Amino acid sequence: MTQIDRSPLVYTDWTVIETEFVPELLNSRETVFTIGNGYLGTRGSFEEGYAQSQPATLIHGVYDDVPIVYTELVNCPDWLPLLIIVDGDRFRLDQGEVLSYERQLDVRRAVLSRTIHWRSPSGRTIRLHFERFASLADEHVVGLRCQITALEADAIVEVQASINGYPENQGFNHWEQLGQGKTEHGVWLQVRTRTSHIELAMASSLSLSGAQGNVQVTNVPGYPTLTTTFTAPAEQTITIENLITIYTSREVEAPVQSAQSKLAALTNYQDLFDAHEQSWAEAWQQSDIVIEGDLRAQLAVRYNLFQLLIAAARHDDRVSIPAKTLSGFGYRGHVFWDTEIFILPFFTFTQPHLARNLLTYRYRTIQGARRKATYYGYKGAMYSWESADTGDEVTPRWALPKDPYGEDIRIWCRDREIHISADIAYASWYYWQATQDDEWMRDYGAEIILDTAVFWMSRVEWSTRYERYEIREVIGADEYHEHVNNNTFTNRMAQWHLEKAIYIYDWLKQTQPEKLGELCDRLKITSERRSRWQDIATNMFIHSHPSGLIEQCDGFFDLEDINLEDYEPRTKSMQEILTIAGADKAQVLKQPDVLMLLYLMRQSQESPYSLEALEKNWNYYAPRTDITYGSSLGPAIHAILASDLNNTVEAYDRFMQAVMVDLEDTRGNADDGIHGASAGGIWQAVVLGFGGVQFGEEPFAHPHLPPGWTRLKFRIHWRDQWHEFDLRADPTTPKRTMTSSDIQGVIFDLDGVLTDTAEYHYRAWQRLADEEGLPFDREANEALRGISRRASLMKIIGDRVYSEAQIEDMMERKNQYYVDSIDAISPTDLLPGVLDFLKEIKQAGVKTALGSASKNARPVIEKLGIAEYIDVIGDGHSVERPKPAPDLFLFGANELGVDPAACVVFEDAAAGIEAALAAGMWAVGLGPVERVGEAHVVLSSLENVHWADLRGKLQQLAKAERTAELIR
C-alpha cells in the first residue's frame, strides 16, 4: 500500500484514510465515505450521531413528491444508529476527549471502518473499532460491527442498536408509520411514502461476543431498538454485530415478511462479509485500473470507479444513476444526460450487464418522454432533462436566488435543453456497437431511437430563406447561453441521430421485419417519414468555416470576447461574476460544447471531427471555457482532448482536477453528493485519453501516459471478448545519470534515524507476546528493525497458526500499546544532531520525505516538532510490499517529484539499506558496520554531521563510480 500527505486525508493504493476529525468537514466527508451496493447508498455519517450531520440511506427507485414543488429520491430509515454508553457516559466525538482517531474506506473490500481511542467525561478510557458494509453478494443485507475495549479498568457498557424511522430530506419527512415489532431474531419497522405509496421494511438483529449480556427490545414508536448491557473487563475486546435486512414494495409484495425471513436465514457477520468481499473481488477483476508511478492518481481513480460501482443497480432495469449517485441530496436524485454520456461507457466496457440495465431504464420511462413531447406540441418521444421514476419532466421551473431579495431564477433547461434525446440514442447505439446485443436493440433500443427520431422530425424548422433545416430556441451543452439558434452541438447530434435511426430502420427491415412492422404501426412510422428523416439529415444546418473553426451557435463570434485570465484569481463561476445576463452576452462557456461534439464524434471519426479541427477549435474554445468553476463535467473531457493533442501536462492537470473533485472537495459542494458524471469521465480520461484506446474490429491503443506514470493496466470488454491492456512508459526515454550535485531529495527512516522509539515498540511487542504466550526478547526484537508490523508479527509468531482475524486483532492491540506509550513523546526525544541537520537541508533547498514502516509516523513527527521540515510522509499505510522492497522510498521520490537517482536515504536497518539500493538511490547507514555496511556512507549518528560535508563525500563517490564505468 502507499500513502500521500493530503492532510487530513491520507491516500493509499486502495484506501482513503482520515486521521483527524474536523467538524467543519463533517458533511463533505459524509459524502466521501459513502458505501453502497447498487441497491442502496448510505452516507458516511457516524453511528453515534453528530450535530448538523446529514445521514442518509437512498434506495434506487424510492421517489416521492414534495407537494407542488418537486419529486425527489427519498431518505430512507436510518440503519446506522448505535448508541454506546460507558459507565453512564454516552460516547460522542463532541464529548469527552478523543485521544486518537482514524477512519478508513477500503474500496477494494468496500468496507468503512473507524478506530477511536476515547476518554469519557468521567475519565473512563476505551478503544472503539467500527466497521460497516452493504453486501454486494446480497443487496438486501447491510452489516455493522463494533469492537469495544475498556482500557485501564473494567467498565459497564450499554449498547443500543436502533432503526430510525424518522429520516428527513432536509426538513421534509416522506414517511408514514405502518407498524413495528419484534421477532425471535430481532425487531422490524414498516413505513410507507406519503404520495407514491412505496412500502419499506427493515429488520434488525444484535449479537454479542466476548461478554455476557441479554438483548432486550424497546419499541419506541418509529424507533425500534435492541439493547444489551454487559461488563467489559479491562483490555478485553467485546464485539457487537448488528445485521439489517431491507426490502421495499418495488421488488416484493410483502416487504415485512421478506425482511423478517431474510434476517432469520442469515448466518453470521463474518460469513456475510466474506461473501461480500468475494463479490467485490469479481467486480474489480473486470473493472480495476492499475496505475504505477502516481499513487494519488491510483487511489483517486479506484475511488471514483468504486463510487460508480456502488451506484449501478444490478437487478433492476427500471432505475438509473442519479447525477449525485446515491450519496446525497443534490439534484433531488434526478437522472440527467450525465448517465448516458459520461457514466455509461465505464459500464459498457467493463460491466455490460449493468450498462444494459441503465439503458433499459430509458425504455421503461419512454411514456414519460412521450407525455413531454405531447405537452410541448411535438410528436414522438422527447426525453426529460431531469427524470425520476416515470420519465416525466421533474426539472424545477424556478430556482431561488442567492440574494434573499433577488428575483426567482427561471430554469430553462426543461424547455430548451433538448439534446438529451440524441444523447440517449448515442449511448444506445454505442452500447450496441460494443456488445452486439441485437436482442436488446430489437426489444428496447430500436423503439428509443426511432421514437426520438420522430420527435426531431417535428422539432426542426425549415428556413425558406436559406433552404435548410434549423433548430431554434435551444440550450446547448454550454449552459451559459440559454436562448440560442442553431447550436452546433444540438444540430449535429440531431442529424447524427436521424442517420442512425435510418440505419436501425433498415436493419430491422432486413433482419426483424415483424418487429419493424409492429413498431411502425405503433409509432406511426411510414416509408415517407423515413424519407423525411433522410431529407432533414441531408439538409440540417451545421456551422462551418473554411478555417476549420466551428461557431458554437448563431452569432456566437459576435458576442463580447473576454479574457478569463483577467478575472484570476477567483473562487466562483464566471456566470456568478458576470451575472446570468452578462455571461449570456460573452464568449465564455460553462462547459465544452463544440469540443464536446468533437469528442463524441471522435470515436467514429465522423464529421466534424478531425485532428486538425480539434486543434483549431481547442485553441479557440479551451481558453474561453470556465473549466475551474463552471461545470464539473468539463475537466475530464478536456483531459482526453488535450491528450489527443499530445498536451500531456494540460491533460494531466485537467484529469487531476476531475479526479479529486470529491476527495478534496475542490468545488466546495461535495456536501451534496458524489459528482457522478465526473467519475464516469475519469474512466474515459484514463482509458480513452491516456490509454489512447480506439475501436476497430478490435480495440487498440495509442497511449499518451502522463509524466511519471510507468504503467497503465486495464481490461476492456468488446464484442464478447476481454482485451487486456498493459501499457508502459517508453523504455527508450533516456534517464539522467546521477551525480551528487544532482541530489534533490533526502528520505529519512524514522526509528533509529530521527528518534529512537525502538524501546516503545519493544515494550509493545513484549506485552503482546506475553499475552499470547510467545517467546520474545531483546535479541529477537533486533530482527524487527525496519520491517512492517505484519512482518514483525509473523517473525514473532513463528510456526504458530492463527486466523487472519486473530492476526488483525494482535496487530491492532500491539499498535494501541505503542500509541499509548508514545503519547508523551516530544522534541526532546529527537536524536542528537537531527534538528540542526534538518535545518541545513531546508536552507539548501533540498526536498525531504519520511520513509518509515510505522503506521504512526505522522503523529510521531508532529509530536517531535519537525513536521515543517518534512515535505512528504511515507509510512506504514503506504505500500503493499514493505522494506526491503524499494516501494516506500520510490513512493517518497515520486511524491517529491524527484528522480530516484537524485535521492539519498538515511537508514539504520539492513532491510532499509537494501530497499534504498534497490530503488537506485544513495544510501547513508546510521549504526554499526555489521548492520548497515552495505550503504554508500556509514555514520554512527547525525551528531556533528553537516550537509555540505556529506554532499562532498557523495560527490567523490559519484566521480569514482563514473571513472570505474569508463574503465569498464
Buried b or exposed e, range 513-536, using 16+ CB within 10 angstroms: eeebeebbeebebeeebbebbeeb
Cis before 255? omega within 30: no
9, amino acid identity? L
The C-alpha atoms of residue 681 and residue 602 are separated, in whole angstroms, by 15
Closest CA to 256 of 40, 132, 73, 77: 77
Residue for cell digits 530503488? 919
Q: Which amino acid is at 720?
A: D
Amino acid identity of residue 839, one-letter, is K
Residue of 479, 895, 907, 914 with catalytic role: 479
> From CA 802, how far away is CA 795, in angstroms rounded?
13
100-112 per-residue burial string, b: 16 or more CB within 10 A, e: under 16: bbbbbbbbebbbb
Query: Helical H runs in 787-884?
Result: 789-797, 804-821, 834-843, 857-864
Rounded Cα–Cα distance for residues 559 and 541 (Å) = 21
Distance in angstroms (rounded) separating the CA atoms of residues 451 and 533: 12
Q: In whole angstroms, what separates CA 961 from the centre of its chain?
A: 46
- Bond before 884 cis per omega within 30 degrees: yes
- Report residue 371 as a C-alpha cell: 407525455
| Residue closest to 892 by CA, chosen among 900, 881, 884, 883 | 900
Backbone phi, then psi, for 717, in 5-degree steps? Answer: -95, 120
Tell me the angle at which helices 488-511 and 420-435 cross, rounded to the nearest 10 degrees. Answer: 50
Three-class SS string for 661-676? CCCCCCCCCHHHCCCH
Q: Of 100, 259, 75, 247, nearest to 171 (Cα)?
A: 75
Q: What is the DSSP letter of 25?
A: G
Q: Are 104 and 112 in contact (CB under 8 A)?
A: yes
Omega into 569 within 30° of 0, i.e. cis?
Answer: yes
DSSP letter string, 205-230: EEEEESS---EEEEEETTEEEEEEEE
Q: Residue 725 has which C-alpha cell?
A: 491492456
In SS3 terms, 708-745 reads as CCCEEEEEEEECCEEEEEEEECCCCCCCCCCCHHHCCE
Residue 488: which of 530, 545, 426 has the closest Cα? 545
How far apart, in Å, do the first and last CA atoms of the chain sit? Answer: 39
> Is 479 among the catalytic positions?
yes
Write the single-letter amino acid at 620: Y
Phi, psi of 629 (to 5 degrees): -130, 10
C-alpha cell at 425: 440514442
Give the phi and the psi of residue 269 in degrees, each rounded to 5: -55, -50
Strand-pair partners of 155: 232
Of the candidates 220, 70, 243, the one whose C-alpha atom is nearest the C-alpha of residue 142 is: 243
Cβ proximity of 893 and 919 under 8 Å: yes
Distance CA 86, CA 109 (A): 31
Which residue in 331, 401, 386 sits closest to 576, CA to CA?
A: 401
Question: Rg of the chain's alpha carbons, rounded to an integer?
Answer: 31
Q: How many CA atoms lie within 13 A of 211 on its CB side?
A: 28
* Residues classed as catalytic: 479
